[in-house]
Amino acid sequence: MDEYQAQPSTWPRAPHAPVADTVWRDVAIVLVALVLLIAWDSTDFDMVLAAPLGTPHGFPLRNNWFLVKIAREGARRAAWLPALWLIAGIWWPTGVLRRLTQRQRIEWVMLLLLALAAVSAVKQHSPTSCPWDLAQFGGSARWISHWALTPDGGPGRCLPGGHASAGFAYFSGYFVLRRSEPKAARWCLVAALAAGLLFGVTQQLRGAHFMSHTFWAAWLCWTSCWLGDRAMARWVN
């Protein structure tokens, strides 16, 4: 039994969509986003965006103090603070967590970890190398499709963007909150999207990732959170 009971929310609530409508809407979002990502991969947009940032000798901003120490390392540490709040909130909820049941609070943590694990697992087995590893920028790898599943001559393990996933993993809150706290869910969605894109852009500037790596991280985090939420729906509710 919960130590705390979910409290009635005073936030405006939107009418709940029928379950079937929600499922089909979620499926449509996942599939449309997948099609757009595959279409992006068939273009040279990644190289168009990366080329002005790099030279044949590498990326000038690769070791930039602000991008490395603040935008990467500092932001990565900061991204763990909400996670610690969520974990502590399983037993000692504060803020919006007080309006969730303990099972919903547990689900939020589990979906967050699931998203991070999914990105890490794909990344560890990806043959795609980072921009700074490409021959065009002083490396040894050759440019090939991310999903050709063929070694490109570089170290690989660069797709999707791990740093961006530290923001996108908080899509988890949207799925947990949207049924009972729609306003909070929308704010969580916007915050996760903004953080993930910001983290991705900082890595793009350094030559650590292409923009598509950030987009794939977003898609994988969203999809894993959605599937996890569907799998846990009966237990949570």
Q: What is the pLDDT of residues 49-81, one digit of tens each?
A: 999 999 999 999 999 999 999 999 999 999 999
DSSP conformation letters of the chain: --SSPPPPP-S--PPPPPHHHHHHHHHHHHHHHHHHHHHHHTSSHHHHHHGGG-BTTB-TTTT-HIIIIIIIIIHHHHHHHHHHHHHHHTTS--GGGGGS-HHHHHHHHHHHHHHHHHHHHHHHT--PPPGGGBGGGTSSB----TTS-S--SS-----S-HHHHHHHTTHHHHHHHTTT-HHHHHHHHHHHHHHHHHHHHHHHHHTS--HHHHHHHHHHHHHHHHHHHHHHHHHH-
Positions of the chain with pLDDT lower than 50, given as ranges: 1-18
The domain limits of the chain are: 19-236
**So what's the pLDDT on residue 234?**
85
